[in-house]
Amino acid sequence: MFPDMTAEPWLILAARSFAKHRLEAVLIGNAAAALQGSPVTTLDLDFMFRKTPLNLTKLKRVADDLGAVVLKPYYPASGLFRLVRDRDGLQFDFMSKVDGIRSYQSLRSRAAAVRFGRATLLVATLEDIIKSKRAANRPQDRAVLPVLRRTLDEKVRLEG
């Protein structure tokens, strides 16, 4: 049997746990692009957050709550914190710096709140995701950019 491709259980878990521990983060990357209507796929959920001592404590509490651990897989200055749970491959990446995004506050001010279960997740706009992928300019970013741009064109057309 093939594994289920729906991210809904992970999104509900994230929304519930962030709300419980009052951790504020904005969903970015391909997961956010998919929620904004782009036909793209991903292996994990990426979030941008503010790296403060309080948020790092909250992140640890979220990890404990989910039965996961927080890893810092790259050099300390990278600002990446990876929350992983071995038993089902759950992986949430938290970044304090994102290519093409000037500040967390500006990203947050444009993000949409999407309800999953009883809580909501902040989801970056397609414009911000495109900006970020263009700035990152890795092969995987260049590969999805035409699809993201096409989705944005369709959204603009629909919204008149």
Partner 1 sequence: MKKSDSKAKRGTALRRESDRALVQQIRRLLALPPSKRTNFLRKRLPGGGSTL
Nearer residue to partner 1 within complex by CB, 7 or 56: 7
Judged by the rule CB under 8 A, the positions of this chain that interact with partner 1 are 2-3, 5-8, 10-11, 30-31, 34-43, 89, 112, 114-116, 123, 147, 150-151, 154-155, 158
In this structure, the number of other CB atoms found within 10 A of the CB of residue 133 comes to 24
Q: What's the half-sphere exposure (Cβ side, CA atoms, 13 Å) at 127? A: 9
Residue 44 or 99: the one with the smaller Cβ distance to partner 1 is 44
For every residue of 44-106, DSSP letters joined together read SEEEEE---HHHHHHHHHHHHHHT-EEE--S-GGG-EEEEEETTTTEEEEEES--TT---HHH
Rounded to a whole number of angstroms, the minimum distance from the CB of residue 51 to partner 1 is 26
Smallest distance from the beta carbon of 111 to partner 1, in angstroms?
Answer: 12
Dihedral sign from CA coordinates of 107, 108, 114, 120: positive
Nearer CB in complex with partner 1: 64/153: 153
Identify which of 51, 88, 50, 92 has the alpha carbon closest to the alpha carbon of residue 71.
92
Query: For residues 56 and 84, which CB has a smaller minimum distance to partner 1 in the complex?
Result: 84
Cβ proximity to partner 1: between 3 and 160 the closer is 3
- Which residues, listed in sequence order, are joined to residue 121 by a DSSP beta bridge? 114
**Diameter of the chain measured on Cα atoms:** 46
